[in-house]
Amino acid sequence: MQVRVRFAPSPTGYLHIGGARTALYNWLWARKNNGVFVLRIEDTDLERSTEEAVQQILDGLTWLGLEWDEGPYFQTANAAKHLETANRLLETGHAYRCFCTKEELDVQREAAEAARIAYTYDGRCRRLPAEEIHRKMEAGVPYVIRFATPRDPTAAVAFDDLVYGRVEKRCLDIEDFVIVRSDGRPLYILCNAVDDEQDRITHVIRGADGIANTPKQILIYQALGIKPPVFAHMPLTLDSKRTKLSKRRHGEVVTLAYYRERGFLPWALCNFMALLGWSSPDGREFFTREELIEAFDLSRINRANSVFNYVPGDEKNWTDPKALHFNATYIRTMPMDELLPYVKAELMDAGLWRDSFEGERREWFSRTVDLIRARYHTLKEFSTRGRCYFSDDFTFDDEAVKKNLLKHPSLRELLPELADRLAKLAVFDHESTEDAFRSFAEEKGIKAGIVINGTRTAVSGTSVGPGLFEMLEVLGQDRVVERLRKAPALIPAN
């Protein structure tokens, strides 16, 4: 049987890391089995669903490269089938109309609370005589439709979860849950099960919070005479204090869109997310798409909750350091022809892109990116820390200026003189510049390090970066000379 899985988000907020991981695991399972990945937007909660959230889901999956094979289907489009199913359950006695008012239910709930027993609806409308039901309906008394959970004390629902193993629940512990609201709208628990059957889903791969719904959904399937899909529930992702991730608590860092904005490579993020709850038998961590599809297996999803190590307020580690490490490693090692389009997009965004980078300066562009990528954690850094390579309008880091320029006032005269020297070089590469520096420092009786560090700050604004001479080579003779000539402006005369 062909494997069919689905990602079924509710478009009621932003797409978060947990949701994206669910999508990823479904996608991996589909690809691994030459199956079908269905995207279903569960928009039955009309008050909370927004078009913007739908768009964010589509954009997010597209950005991650998790292409779906069918859909997006919209749950509301299947409303007729949901109601038809509810009616079938009514007809077969697996569901009943409940006319209890909110006030009546409140009284029942309060009585249970007073007696310190967990409240469940007592099923009184289940026993209403047919004439009474008829009369109430004629009179237009509002009602909900409840599922009639088997009341045999020995009855239980069980399923073999691919991650959590055998899960069993006594029917007595499942109340007669509502499947259609009094305004006639079917509830998620019903729609979700009906749609899984309609979409011929073979494996339901979803967050562990779905486990609570599964027995009820299995009861619905049993009542309809349908074989339920296989379930695989994934552990939740918690923060380092073991709290569930949420935008309210953790802010943007849990939203997928944020990773895109802050310069993540989509695959680096996928690779990181894959390990939030799954591990390879040999402990390997870096995978290409094809390798991950090959290695991934539902049976290796951990039961333990996974931890997203995010510490608020640490700007350097603005997300889990492991995620940053993955991104940096990909940036540093991926094939240049795959990286360059991302760098181009980043520079375009920042207004630093020049068409010549793809034309006559193509080779220069690639060399420059290759040189600077070694130290970057995100794509953003190509336009921030890397700005001095693509524009003359870059900023100077105060600390670097203090340490490398202001501390050595002689550089005020020396750097322009060095500039004149460099301007005369017939060949401007890292060897010739290095020779020029060494002999210049020796002649002037000053430590080479002082001239080197001063130059670094004068031409790039910082005190860190690639080797100075390689850096000078990619910056090029004209820019280096010009920036060194302007250095005195950074070192006020006493």
Catalytically annotated residues: 247
In the shown chain, the binding pattern of residues 145 to 184 toward ligand GLU, with x for contact by CB under 6 A and - for none, equals ----------------------------------------
CB atoms within 10 A of CB 290: 9
CB 347 within 8 A of CB 388: no
CB 70 within 8 A of CB 30: no
Write the Ramachandran bin of 205: left for phi over 0, alpha for psi from -120 to 50, otherwise beta.
beta
Strand residue runs (E) in 311-350: none
Shortest distance, position 212 Cβ to ligand GLU, whole Å:
11
Residue 433 lies near ligand GLU (rule: CB under 6 A): no
Shortest distance, position 44 Cβ to ligand GLU, whole Å:
9
CB 258 within 8 A of CB 252: yes
CB nearer ligand GLU, residue 220 or residue 339 = 220
Taking CB under 6 A as the binding criterion, the range among 4-12, 321-329, 408-416, 422-430 that sits at the site for ligand GLU is 4-12
Residue 203 lies near ligand GLU (rule: CB under 6 A): no
Residues 114-131 as b or e (16 or more Cβ within 10 Å = b): eeeeeebbeeebbebeee
Residue from the set 5, 20, 27, 42 that interacts with ligand GLU by CB under 6 A: 42
CA 185 to mean position of chain CA atoms: 32
Taking CB under 6 A as the binding criterion, the range among 8-16, 60-68, 120-128, 222-230 that sits at the site for ligand GLU is 8-16
- Whole-angstrom distance, CA of residue 266 vs CA of residue 377: 13
Shortest distance, position 41 Cβ to ligand GLU, whole Å:
9
Tokens representing 380 are 């953003």
H/E element, 367: helix 362-372
- Give the CA distances from residue 197 to residues 11, 229, 422, in Å, rounded to whole numbers and listed in that order: 21, 8, 74
| In 394-445, alpha helices (H) | 398-401, 411-423, 430-444
Shortest distance, position 53 Cβ to ligand GLU, whole Å:
11
Residue 71 lies near ligand GLU (rule: CB under 6 A): no
Task: Label the pairing between strands 165-170 and 156-161.
Answer: antiparallel
Residue 8 lies near ligand GLU (rule: CB under 6 A): yes
- Whole-angstrom distance, CA of residue 113 vs CA of residue 117: 6
Residue 477 lies near ligand GLU (rule: CB under 6 A): no
The amino acid sitting at 348 is M
CB nearer ligand GLU, residue 197 or residue 381 = 197
Comparing CA positions, the residue from 407, 409, 389 lying closest to residue 479 is: 389
Shortest distance, position 26 Cβ to ligand GLU, whole Å:
9
Residue 214 lies near ligand GLU (rule: CB under 6 A): no
3-state SS record for 165-213: EEEEEEHHHCCCCEEECCCCCECHHHHHHHHHHHCCCCEEEEEHHHCCC
Taking CB under 6 A as the binding criterion, the range among 2-10, 82-90, 306-314, 331-339 that sits at the site for ligand GLU is 2-10
CB nearer ligand GLU, residue 13 or residue 454 = 13
Taking CB under 6 A as the binding criterion, the range among 7-15, 104-112, 132-140, 223-231 that sits at the site for ligand GLU is 7-15
Angle between helices 468-475 and 448-460 (to 10 degrees): 40
Residue from the set 4, 10, 194, 473 that interacts with ligand GLU by CB under 6 A: 10
CB nearer ligand GLU, residue 171 or residue 211 = 211
CB nearer ligand GLU, residue 75 or residue 477 = 75
Residue from the set 9, 215, 277, 465 that interacts with ligand GLU by CB under 6 A: 9
Residue 210 lies near ligand GLU (rule: CB under 6 A): yes
Shortest distance, position 392 Cβ to ligand GLU, whole Å:
49
- Whole-angstrom distance, CA of residue 292 vs CA of residue 238: 23
- Whole-angstrom distance, CA of residue 417 vs CA of residue 422: 9
Shortest distance, position 341 Cβ to ligand GLU, whole Å:
32
Shortest distance, position 20 Cβ to ligand GLU, whole Å:
12
CB nearer ligand GLU, residue 10 or residue 455 = 10
CB nearer ligand GLU, residue 40 or residue 408 = 40
Size of the site for ligand GLU (CB under 6 A): 7
Residue from the set 94, 97, 203, 206 that interacts with ligand GLU by CB under 6 A: 206
Residue from the set 56, 78, 85, 192 that interacts with ligand GLU by CB under 6 A: 192
CB 489 within 8 A of CB 481: no
User: Measured in Å, how far apart are the chain's first and last C-alpha atoms?
Assistant: 83
Residue 228 lies near ligand GLU (rule: CB under 6 A): no
Comparing CA positions, the residue from 28, 69, 59 lying closest to residue 277 is: 28
CA 223 to mean position of chain CA atoms: 37
Total residues belonging to the chain: 494
CB nearer ligand GLU, residue 132 or residue 209 = 209
CB nearer ligand GLU, residue 174 or residue 268 = 174
**What does the binding site for ligand GLU look like in residue numbers (CB under 6 A)?**
8-10, 42, 192, 206, 210
